[in-house]
Structure 1
Amino acid sequence: MNVSTRWLKDMVPGLSGSPKELAEHLALRGAPVEEITSPGEALGDIVVGKVVTAGQHPNADRLSLCEVDGGDGVVQVVCGAPNVKAGSFYPFAPVGSVLPGDFKIKKAKIRGEVSQGMLCSSKELGLGTDHEGILEIHGDFKPGQSFVHALGLGDATLDVEITANRGDLLSHAGVARELASEGDGRVVFPDFPDATELAPEYVVDAKEAVAGEVSIRIDDPDLCSRYLGAVIRGVAIGPSPAWLQERLRGAGSRPINNVVDATNYVMLEMGQPLHAFDLDQLAGSSIVVRRAGKDESKFTTLDDEDRTLTDDMLMICDAGGPVAIAGVMGGQNSEVEEATRDVLLECAHFDPKSIRSTRKALGMSTDASYRFERGVDPEGMQIALERCAALIIATAGGELDGPVLDCSPHPFEAQVVDLRLSRVHRLLGIPFDARYVTRLLEPLGFTVGGETDGVLHVRVPGYRSYDVTREVDLIEEVARTHGYDAFPSDLRPSRPGTVPDHPLFQLEDRIRAALVGQGLFETQTPAFAPANEGDVEVANPLATTEPVMRVALLPSLVRRLEYNLARGNRDVRLFEIGTSFSRTASGCPPHEETHLAAIVTGRRTPPHWSVADEALSIWDLKGLFAEMLETAYHGGARLLPGSEVPASTSEPVRGLASRLDPDRSLVAVSDDGSVIGWGGRMADGAVDTPPWAGDVFTFELRLPDEPRPAPVATYDPLPHYPAVERDLALVVPDALPVGDVDDVVRTTAGRELEALEIFDVYTGEGVPEGTRSVAVRLRFRSAKGTLKDKAVDRSVGKVLQRLEEELGVKARG
């Protein structure tokens, strides 16, 4: 938002200070100034020159020979631009002046003709990039007057950064309210030169307002809650007076003509966009606010572009069809032109979401749409219309014809928010009394209606109705206006909380600690995803390439992995804890789950000269996956080979199992049989990896909504008696998971089994085809005494017998 410091000082009586001081104050209020510019700072030598005559250079086809009045007499100037013409005004650099870039103008002879000065382009003055033609300035000027003063370039312009929730700051009045406390606490609207005060009558109707031959009707009140229209007859279109042009230029706006300039002035002053229609071009002298019809697919806007309409776009129409895209831009078929004599002045309140949707669909943005989609003041419309009408009459002549038409199907009702002084004290840490809070809020436009038992009843003005809806919003306003720098910096007394974190948060902390200990880095990726990675659509996506919410975390991690590999990072270990979204019944919110996902590739250990590099394998992934499964479910889930569960019926993370190598994949299953996660080696081609990259391993696991408490650590005394070990060589079918053997052994060996260790796997000579030899070490120990060999042999015999009966596993002879 470009803000003129002169304009601000005219609106805030008593406001002083340099532009830098004003910028510092705005920054403390939460509206930082990105840049302070003064376009005329280096143009002090430039004057307004009037071209008296312009003709062909006698010795050059592409040069003109002009006589220019620069205030000190008429001099001859050679000009190379094709657009110079007699009777027009241009910026003139006389002999001896210096242009930006330290370019000094000297008397010169060009193709045999003397040139005593230079007519300048925008680029030569540092005001733009156009170098093809001389900058023509429109208005009533005196030759020799300061160019900087004529164009209002001596003003300092503040480029204020406006957040999306502060649409009220998109006006000089909004910024002036933030600075009111630096003056005498008031914000005033400056009087217009030669203006008469208007006191029009209003014809108000909820459906259709009619006065004489002019009518206004709103057919879609959900998208337009109020529409004002004033008829001004007998205007004369022409340049705006110098003061108005200077003010607009000081705010970064280009003057066009007196009627359009009046609408732009009020928009910059109050933040309310307005539009002027040529009344004679409106069929039936009527305005109808409605959605575009199915047969109204094309519309030409003021910028001479053909726009494609859809039937959900709000249009301003007359009896014959659309004449403007509501809140965005007017049409060529009703444009105010030099021949216009009667205008209909529009002031409307549109639904911000509708304007944003239309603007994005059309791929365009205007000053009007930028303000409407952030919310304009529903209470300031009448003042804005009357000021604009008065300014048009003062600069273009004419008179107000009849009453103002006010079609208002949904009148605005201001909200009253209760503000507890005790709550202010609790949140901000220091006490505030009612009188001081009132003094802080009222310059911003809030009305404090009184106090009841320490509660203030605060009426929220219309221009803040979008972002101030709760008590805490008012407390933020108190803190801003009091000044964040005014709060004490010492630590106040506090009482630590005794309520523990939710079990899910505690589980996430344990998972983070475990994975970081394994050398993984945590990532945080956006929940928005491409269309093929989810089914929950976003109503207003930030990017057209990410229109849905993700159903899984893995695709985002894959993209982060590819990003790292593309930059030569061979060893990548990433994990993320985030939310997944899946569609539910129509009209219901989406189902949300907390997921853990990890992806790894590269070397098993950091490189060192003393050992050879060893790549990560599926067993590393299985160990990591199993550890996280145990941490999250405490024995309430188990890992199975991926081939044992049909991906088409049980996959919880859609699109994940299909990207895994089917021969090296795992599935996590809970005790109730539901699939809660998948993992394994990424299939060839599933990840865009360079030729030198190793295998990529990943898993994704759904975390429980209500995790079980973590097991309490218990103390076991050191054993007093020796252990007895037995080594078994078991012939296990290739199709049988060793985990099944592990389960049978542990449940059969008895309480004295202290540990089970698989220490070797052998295939080859002496082992039947289709089987492998698995070496298992069993360690037995008793806390009551030394075990005898016969007791241990009985336990081993029971284990072997059950293995053969249930699994067909025999001891290798």
Structure 2
Amino acid sequence: MTISYNWLCDYLPVQPSPEELSVILTRIGLEVESLEKFETVKGSLEGLVIGEVLTVAKHPNADKLSVTTVNVGGDTPLHIVCGAPNVAAGQKVVVAPIGATIYPASGEPLTMKKAKIRGEESEGMICAEDEIGLGSSHAGIMVLDSALQPGTPAREVFSLVQDWVYEIGLTPNRMDAMSHIGVARDVCAYLNNVEGSARYQVQLPAVKELPKADTPLPITVTVENTAACPRYAGISITGVQTGPSPDWLRNKLAAIGVRPINNIVDITNFILHETGQPLHAFDADQIAGNKVIVKNLPAGTPFITLDEKERKLDAADLMICNGNGEGMCIAGVFGGLHSGVTDATHNIFLESACFSGGGIRATSFRHGLRTDAATRFEKGVDISNTVFVLQRAAALICELAGGRIASDIIDVYPQPKPKVEVKSTWAYIKKLSGKDYSEDKISNILSWLGFEILERTAEFLRVSVPYSKTDISIPADLVEEVMRIDGLDNVEIPAQVRITPSITAKPDQENIREKVAGYLSDNGFYEIFTNSITNSKYFSPEVLERTVKMINNLSADLDVMRPSMLETGLESIAHNLNRRNENLLFFEFGKTYATTGVGQYQETQHLSLYLTGAKRPESWLYKAAPVDFYFLKGYVGNVLARLNITNLQWAELETAGLDAAWQIKAGNKALVTLGAVSAAKLKQFDIKQAVWFADFNWESVLAALPKKDTFYSEIPKFPAVRRDLALVLDKQVRFADVEAAAKTVKAPLLQHINLFDVFESEKLGANKRSYAVSFTFLDTQKTLTDKEIDTVMDKLIKAFETQLQAQIRK
């Protein structure tokens, strides 16, 4: 939310400094995120003065230059070299003397220094309008009113505006502060609380008597959907002359970043940011039948909006229609192309209405139209302010655009909205706030904010909530209002804090996640966060059958909740590869989504690894080697090892999107799927290098964690013993089969099995290969003997020969 200091002070009975006001706003919960200076002209002509040209002579060394003397109000005239063709004696001009800084309309700022130009000294510059940011003309120097006095500061002559602009980090519930008057109301309440008085009141703008038109222009209003539009007001204004707004209005809008357009549009924008109430102006001559009908149109009805795009309406979209039932405006969201105000408009119908927040929000997202008006309506506007705002805007249109009122105010308000009532005990306010406020302070603060005290006893307080505070509904909301205005930094910090220690269930999921993330980042991985909403074109029809589809998708490319982590990660990889960042190690914690029917949805938590490019950068010592399956397998295994998950089973797997995929299980639960991303999937993202992917089912990983704590033990004092075997096996026998056969031998002394060499040769026989396997033995209680080790090795050899038909190479 952007607030102008000058604009805000229009409604305040006092004028604190910009810095003081910044502190006040932050204290009352309107946190100031930035405070920046605004100037209608950069530099505000600081240091520039009015000068009188006394003499003009031809430069002795340049045909297009003149040597002038200029009186700037000092003891002696300035000697200035000027290149303008229109400089003449007797002119009043803008002078930038030595030391002044000018800010051209284009280009960098320039500070004046004493200089020699073709041999003649120059003590400044006589300025053209583009040289000081006042315009774009460079035809010659500016020639001013002859009545001006030399030495007058230039900023006084041109009435430049300086302002301070606050960027407020507004919380979503604070609709009442989405306007300058709303912020002023909070500031006045704060000042009253500081002084303990009620003398600070918001200075509301007065509405002058409106001039009447000679010829009436009656327009009738019918509201068919009163649930979506509980109040609708309007007025006809004729004789309007559309044109530029006056400087004061243009400056106020420009200060908060709103581009001035014309006087009618600027007035509606001004009222929006002054009061928080959106308005809409129709070209009255385009309203067929002089009737305005607020209703819903059939689904699929085409409607062309102001941006010249045709949109298909939904049956739930509320529309402002003409007498023929044709749409003129998407209510509270966006105007239509053919009914808006143009330069040719002379008669307007001005709308001030209150629309249902939920309906406006749904329509706004449905059509991708996130306008200022929609933002206000979806949070709730002050329904009691509808007519006042209409009168205020109509008065400005009459004053600035020459309009005259051609109808009575139409106010369709069939069921006046009752005020919300909230009751709270004094004890509850003290308990929730942590501060013992006096009953009078609480009552006064609420009164200054517009609450009406309905009942006050020794135990409780009952109030009615002003219509401007649509978020207030429960006692806790009252506590927040009191704490804000009294100052959140005024809540005392107790000398002692008593808490009950929390007990975290084991395993602590956050600690586990942090542990894994730390390991991966320490090993060169970068964590990514991708959008859980993705594009349905990435997936097959079979996958889309169980995919959660967006009803109000943000765009055509974001229409489903992701059923897989792979695709959004590949988007990130493609983004990096397109920018020549080719060696990538990514990891991501995220969710996938699925459905089996309406109301039946599943979320699954994942950890995904994405690897592509080289294992290590190329150097004189090492050649660049691409990442491969074993590189990925190592990180996957290390993650599981750090979590102390053991007894893993590996199995080959066929799955969409991956080639040569494997699945790791613990017991009957699948923990990880890993493999190379298929060529077809890479082609979808225009990726031309191999990508390796591992997907941890994080929920299964957490379920597989050991239930008992892990304890450390001292290093054994007795040595381990290693024995090696060379096993000749059929090629289809995997090392996992060797491990499985070894585990059938119940040998507590066997600590570790490792494959350290693979050999293939015709000498071994057809379809044969040799595995060189090491076996490590250890007894923590004593030194092992050869006899004990030989006994276990004999059992292992027998198991390999009988289960795997292995031949032992001698």
Q: Which residue of 2 aligns with 1:769?
A: 766
> What is the distance in 2 between the residues matched to 1:605 and 1:280?
72
Match of 1:96 in 2: 93
Residue 38 of structure 1 contacts residue 156 of structure 1 at CA under 8 Å; is this kept in 2? yes
Q: Secondary structure at the match of 2:744?
A: helix
- 2:556 is the counterpart of 1:551: no
Q: Tell me whether 1:506 sits opposite 2:511 in the alignment.
A: yes
Q: Which range moves more in the overlay, 572-581 or 608-617?
A: 608-617
CA contact (8 A) 2:40 2:161 kept: yes
- 1:225 matched to which residue of 2? 229
> Offset of 1:158 from its aligned partner?
3.0
AA partner of residue 289 (structure 1): V
Q: Which runs of 5+ in 2 are unaligned?
A: 51-84, 97-101, 106-125, 140-146, 193-198, 540-546
Corresponding position of 1:237: 240
Partner of 1:36: 37
Find 2:697's aligned residue among 692, 695, 702. 702
Instruction: String of CA shifts for 1:758-786, please: whole Å, max 9, x gaps.
Output: 33322225422223212233344556777
Give the stretch that moved more between structures: 255-264 or 33-42: 255-264
Distance 2:265 2:420 in 1: 31
User: 2:741, 2:513 → 1: CA distance?
Assistant: 33
Q: Could you state the TM-score of these two structures normalised by the residue count of structure 2?
A: 0.70
Report the Cα distance in structure 2 between the residues aligned to 1:725 and 1:101, rounded to whole angstroms: 81
Structure 2 Cα separation of the partners of residues 786 and 97 of structure 1:
101
> Structure 1: how far apart are the matches of 2:404 and 2:690?
80
Matched-pair contact (CA < 8 Å) for 2:726–2:808 = yes
Q: Which amino acid aligns with 2:734?
A: P
What is the CA-CA distance between 1:745 and the residue it aligns to? 0.9
1:484 is displaced (CA, Å) by 5.2
Q: Distance in 1 between matches of 2:210 and 2:49?
A: 33
Point out the more displaced range, 480-489 or 740-749: 480-489
Deviations 1:468-520 (A, max 9, x none): 56666666555544445556789863547331156322321332344345453
**What displacement does 1:241 show?**
13
Range with bigger deviation, 729-738 or 245-254: 245-254
Structure 2 equivalent of residue 324 of structure 1: 329
Q: Which AA in structure 1 matches 2:634?
A: G
Alignment pair present for 1:18 and 2:9: no
Residue 191 of structure 1 corresponds to 206
Tell me if structure 1 keeps the 8 A contact 2:4–2:166: no
Of 313, 317, 338, which residue of structure 2 is paired with 1:311?
313
Q: SS of the residue aligned with 1:508? A: helix
Match of 1:736 among 733, 738, 744: 733
Structure 1 residue matching 2:699: 3-state secondary structure: coil
Match of 1:529 in 2: 534
Contact 2:721 2:777 (8 Å CA) reproduced: yes
Whether 1:216 aligns to 2:221 is yes
Decide whether the 8 Å contact of 1:533 with 1:552 is kept in 2.
no
Aligned to 2:709: 712
1:172-321 paired onto structure 2 within 5 Å: 172-180=180-188, 181-182=190-191, 184-194=199-209, 215-221=220-226, 224-232=228-236, 235-238=238-241, 246-247=248-249, 249-252=251-254, 263=268, 265-277=270-282, 281-293=286-298, 297-299=302-304, 301=306, 306-312=308-314, 313-320=317-324, 321=326
Q: Structure 1 522/554 Cα, relative in aligned 2: closer, same or farther at 3 Å?
A: same
Once the two structures are TM-superposed, the CA of residue 639 in structure 1 deviates from its matched residue by 2.5
- Cα deviations across residues 211-258 of structure 1 (Å, max 9, x unaligned)? x98643334456x3323234457x54358999x874564344798888
Q: How many residues align?
A: 703
In terms of mean alpha carbon deviation, does 607-616 or 723-732 score higher?
607-616
Distance 2:132 2:643 in 1: 68
SS in 2 for 1:678: strand
Tell me the CA shift for residue 310 of structure 1.
Answer: 1.3
Amino acid at match of 1:581: Y
Percent of residue pairs bearing the same amino acid type: 25
Q: Distance in 2 between matches of 1:307 and 1:539?
A: 21
Q: Deviations over 1:419-472 (max 9, x none)?
A: 88667766x665545544455555444556667887765655444425x56666
- Alignment partners' CA distance in 2, 1:732 and 1:322: 80
Partner of 1:625: 636
Q: Structure 2: how far apart are the matches of 1:795 and 1:732?
A: 21
SS in 2 for 1:510: helix
The answer for the alignment partner of 1:158 in structure 2 is 165
For the structure 1 residues 808 and 353, does the alpha-carbon distance in structure 2 shift closer, same or farther, using more than 3 Å as the test? farther
* Residues 630/272 of structure 1: CA separation in 2 closer, same or farther (3 Å cut): same
Verify the 8 A CA contact 2:95 2:127 in the aligned structure 1: no
In the alignment, which residue of structure 2 is the partner of 1:202?
none
1:347 counterpart residue number? 352
Question: Does the Cα contact within 8 Å between 2:241 and 2:345 map onto a contact in 1?
Answer: no
Match of 1:209 in 2: none
Q: Deviations over 1:350-388 (max 9, x none)?
A: 345655666677777765445445543234224323444
Q: Deviations over 1:776-802 (max 9, x none)?
A: 333445567776666655544443344
Cα distance change on mapping 1:311 and 1:546 into 2, 3 Å: closer
1:7 and 1:246 map into 2 onto residues whose CA distance is 10
Q: Aligned partner of 1:171: which letter?
A: S
Could you tell me which of 417, 420, 439 is aligned with 1:414? 420
- CA gap of 1:360–1:749, structure 2 versus 1, over 3 A, is closer
Structure-to-structure mapping, 1:435-446, within 5 angstroms: 435-440=440-445, 442-446=447-451
Cα pair 1:277 1:345 within 8 Å, conserved: yes
Q: Which ranges of structure 1 fall in alignment gaps of 5 or more residues?
A: 48-79, 81-92, 104-117, 133-142, 198-211, 648-656
Which whole-Å CA distance do the structure 1 matches of 2:356 and 2:138 have between them? 42
User: What residue in structure 1 maps to residue 501 of structure 2?
Assistant: 497
CA contact (8 A) 1:230 1:400 kept: no
CA distance in 2 between counterparts of 1:536 and 1:449 reads 49
Corresponding residue SS for 2:182: helix
SS in 1 for 2:729: strand
Mapped to 2, the partners of 1:454 and 1:178 lie a distance apart of: 27
Q: CA deviation at 1:571?
A: 5.3
Q: Is the 8 A contact 1:351 1:373 kept in 2?
A: yes
SS in 1 for 2:775: strand
Whole-angstrom distance in 2 between the partners of 1:23 and 1:786: 77
Deviation at 1:317, TM superposition (A): 0.8
Residue number in structure 1 paired with 2:747: 750
Matches of 1:249 and 1:785, distance apart in 2:
90
- The answer for the alignment partner of 2:520 in structure 1 is 515
Structure 1 CA distance for aligned equivalents of residues 731 and 178 of structure 2: 73
The 3 A distance-change label for structure 1 pair 714 and 317 is closer
Distance in 1 (CA, whole Å) between partners of 2:497 and 2:264 is 61
Contact 1:271/1:371 (CA < 8 Å) preserved in 2? Answer: yes
Contact 1:216 1:286 in 2 (8 A): yes
Could you tell me which amino acid in structure 1 is paired with residue 383 of structure 2? P
**Which residue of structure 2 lines up, in the alignment, with residue 203 of structure 1?**
none
Residue 658 (1) aligns with residue 667 (2): no
Which piece of structure 1 moves more, 731-740 or 4-13? 4-13
In 2: Cα distance, 1:307 partner to 1:338 partner: 22
